[in-house]
Amino acid sequence: MSNSTEASLQQQVSMKNSDKIKALPPLMPNAALRWDVVSRLLPEALGDVIEIGCGQGAAAVRLALRADRFVALEPDPRSFAVAKSRIGNLGTVHNMSSTDLPDGERFDTLCAFEVLEHIEDDRAALIDWVSRLRSGGRIVLSVPAHPDRFSHADEVAGHFRRYDRTDMTALFEEAGLQNIEIVHYGFPSGYLLEAARNHLARRHLAGEAREMNIAQRTASSGRMFQPGGSASRLMLSALTVPMIWVQRVFPDRGIGMIAMARVPE
């Protein structure tokens, strides 16, 4: 994701939704590293798109700009309210989970970023998601990588697990997917970001998070570490650009994975 790419997206925002969206929502550094990979893996035209667990909608706006029709789902009421405001008339946002979708609704592209690790029965969830896609449809997920790195930050976020390539490939194959492609992201800066999150998570586990169950931690995870005022957003943007260029040299290393596959024709 270069500055020119973001500028191009901002132009599209202005053209498609000048009344309700004035600027692209900011991405925190880890989300920016993730979006850089996703944006290059996905084509410009995505057809009908659904995003499962859109959080506060920063990636959702960017996806909606490539979609013929865009639907986002977010079960946490507070994150849903922010996402709905950000997406405006670029698409539709529902305060619900994928199990609440009408049975017959189908899409060309399904995205779920940092969602699967929050679900205890990830295999059943993936099979359900795949059933929402049309023949030849595309699914793209992001998950935290390396099971041996499971840490305080994972606990606070409500994660059940982290994944490796073998895990993701097996899950995708069991769900009947093909043309599987897996790319890592976040090397080397993601490790520093993760260390900072772990430091904060240790304190959080000693306080508020200690009284929260997995569902409550999952709901709050999308609201954590969000950018503040305009000055901090500009500083984050400036810091993120060199991180992105470095990670592109190391597509097989990093703290997270992007996995993409297709439903057979």
Query: Looking at residue 31, what is its pLDDT?
Result: 93
pLDDT tens-digit series, residues 70-106: 999 999 999 999 999 999 999 999 999 998 988 889 9
What amino acid is encoded at 111 in this protein? Answer: C
pLDDT tens-digit series, residues 2-55: 444 555 555 555 455 444 455 788 888 999 999 999 999 999 999 999 999 999
Instruction: Provide the 10 A C-beta neighbour count for residue 160.
Output: 15
Report how far residue 108's alpha carbon sits from residue 76's, in angstroms, rounded to the nearest whole number.
Answer: 25
* Helix ranges (DSSP H) in the chain: 3-16, 29-41, 58-64, 77-87, 122-131, 152-157, 165-174, 189-205, 214-221, 230-247
Per-residue pLDDT band at 239 (split at 50, 70, 90): confident
Q: What average pLDDT does this structure show over 98-123? A: 94
225, two tokens: 């570490």
pLDDT tens-digit series, residues 182-234: 999 999 999 999 999 888 888 766 666 666 777 776 777 666 656 555 555 66
Report how far residue 256's alpha carbon sits from residue 265's, in angstroms, rounded to the nearest whole number.
Answer: 29
Per-residue pLDDT band at 57 (split at 50, 70, 90): very high
Query: Looking at residue 230, what is its pLDDT?
Result: 54
Nearest to 213 by CA among 158, 161, 162, 151: 158
* Residue 57 zone, left/alpha/beta (φ > 0; ψ -120 to 50; rest): left
The whole domain housing 189 covers 3-262
**Is-contact 38 183, C-beta < 8 A?**
no
Nearest to 142 by CA among 26, 198, 59: 59
**Is-contact 45 12, C-beta < 8 A?**
no
Report how far residue 222's alpha carbon sits from residue 209's, in angstroms, rounded to the nearest whole number.
Answer: 14
Per-residue pLDDT band at 171 (split at 50, 70, 90): very high
**Is-contact 73 94, C-beta < 8 A?**
yes
Total of domains in the chain:
1
**Cα–Cα distances in angstroms (integers) from residue 214 to residues 52, 53, 100, 119, 195, in the given order:** 18, 16, 20, 10, 22
Query: Looking at residue 238, what is its pLDDT?
Result: 76
Q: Considering only CA atoms, give the Rg of the chain.
A: 17
Q: Domain of 31: which CATH number?
A: 3.40.50.150
What amino acid is encoded at 193 in this protein? Answer: L
DSSP 88: G
User: What is the chain's length?
Assistant: 265
